[in-house]
Amino acid sequence: MPLEFFLLLAAALFCIGIYGLVTSRNAVRVLMSVELLLNAVNLNLVSFSNYLDGQNIRGQVFTVFVITVAAAEAAVGLAIILAIYRSRDTIDMEQFNLLKW
Amino acid sequence: MNLAEGIRFVCTILLSVMMIGAALGVVLFENIVYSAFTLAGVFMSIAGLYILLNADFVSAAQVLVYVGAVNVLILFAIMLVNKREDFKPVPRRWVRKGSAALVCAGVFALLATMVVKTSWPTDLSLVPPVSAVELIGEHFFSDYLLPFEIASILLLMALVGAIVIARRESIVGEETALVGETPPPVLELPERPREPVA
């Protein structure tokens, strides 16, 4: 498989993630879309580290860092969603306009 | 193409189709629980792709962290905010969805042309290292030591921050001040009421 195949795959996953991030109304689904975006970036990094930097795999090191940050982001994001749900009693993204104007 | 390359090819195609299909399921399913389970499918197929890309340690970390921790966390969040609410219909929502799909297709076209047009200097003659784990460990403790330590501090901050944001504030020791009669056994801590916003 050439490198381009994996890059196209990661690009497709990234675009699906952006679509879900913009259009979904459930706040938990927004977090899932963010996870899709981070996974697309990870796939890019790993394929670059395999094809372009095969001797000292620095892309995989960066992937481990991205996985760490993604785990932290998921925990804090779900805590924020829980707090918003308690105070506003909904998880509809259309009504989270607290800081909008 | 010998047998090993053929198996590799078939596995890559199969995992890619699984990954794209499951990602579409995450975005398009109406039921959010189905989305959470197809998200696990996305993570598992990406772990398989990592193995095909000679990244065994990252694949194991992907399964452990994403499927084992993040996905379970998301399922818990779905159960905690499990409220069957029908969202109020927003007028001309299809315009937003259509324009978002258009923009995403445009971004994909842009990225695809960039990927295809660029001539990547791939060099497959070099054999990959035998043990990726040892190399990653060396990187962590030599030239990437500072980001490694910062990542640990970040995890600690996320841990404490998530607890502080999500916990309820309970009032301890006010209702036991009544003297004389024994209060009925209260099985839950009284909660400090939060003023609802707007």
Q: How far is B186 from chain A (nearest CA, A)?
A: 22
Token pair of A13 as six digits: 């996953």
Residues of B in contact with A55 (CB under 8 A): 126, 129
CA distance A50 to A53: 6
Containing domain of residue B160, as a range? 130-185
Chosen domain end from B28, B56, B83: B83
| Contacts for B10 with CB less than 8 Å, ≥ 6 apart | none
For the segment A46-71, the average pLDDT, to the nearest whole number, is: 90
User: Which ipTM score applies to this complex?
Assistant: 0.92
Residues of A in contact with B144 (CB under 8 A): 61
What is the sign of the dihedral through the CA atoms of B30, B32, B37 and B41? positive
What is the sign of the dihedral through the CA atoms of A56, A57, A61 and A62? positive
Pairwise CB contact (< 8 Å): A3 & B101 = no
> Residue B181: its pLDDT value, please?
61
Closest Cβ opposite residue A76 in set B74, B162, B197: B162
**The Cα angle at residue A19 between residues A17 and A22, in degrees rounded to 5:** 105
Closest Cβ opposite residue B154 in set A22, A72, A94: A72
What is the sign of the dihedral through the CA atoms of B55, B19, A35 and B114? positive
Question: Does some domain include residue B195?
Answer: no
Give the pLDDT band of residue B180 (cuts 50, 70, 90). low
Chosen domain end from B51, B83, B115: B83
CA distance A16 to A33: 8
CA distance B33 to B79: 9
Give the pLDDT band of residue A52 (cuts 50, 70, 90). confident
More confident residue, A54 or A35: A35
Residues B140 and B78 in one domain: no
CA A3 from centroid of its chain's CA atoms: 22
Question: Does some domain include residue B96?
Answer: no
Question: Does some domain include residue B122?
Answer: no
Contact call for residues B125 and A43 (beta carbons, < 8 A): no
CA distance A55 to B138: 13
Pairwise CB contact (< 8 Å): B55 & A85 = no
Question: Does some domain include residue B12?
Answer: yes
Q: How far is B189 from chain A (nearest CA, A)?
A: 17
Q: What CATH number does residue B54 fall under?
A: 1.20.120.1200
Question: Does some domain include residue B119?
Answer: no
Question: Does some domain include residue B91?
Answer: no
More confident residue, B167 or A10: A10
CA distance B56 to A50: 12
Give the pLDDT band of residue A57 (cuts 50, 70, 90). confident
Chosen domain end from B83, B101, B118: B83
> Residue B177: its pLDDT value, please?
52
What is the tally of structural domains in chain B? 2
Task: Report the DSSP beta bridge partners of residue B191.
Answer: B170
Contact call for residues A16 and A35 (beta carbons, < 8 A): no
Between the CA of residue A27 and those of A20, B81, B131, what are the distances in Å?
Answer: 11, 10, 41
Residues of B in contact with A97 (CB under 8 A): none
Total residue count of chain A as it appears in this document: 101
Question: Does some domain include residue B105?
Answer: no
Residues B5 and B75 in one domain: yes
For the segment B172-181, the average pLDDT, to the nearest whole number, is: 57
Q: What is the pLDDT of residues B30-66, one digit of tens each?
A: 889 999 999 999 999 999 999 999 889 999 999 999 9
Closest Cβ opposite residue B77 in set A24, A28, A42: A28
Residues B140 and B77 in one domain: no
Block residue for tokens 């795999």:
A57
Question: Does some domain include residue B93?
Answer: no
Residues B79 and B4 in one domain: yes
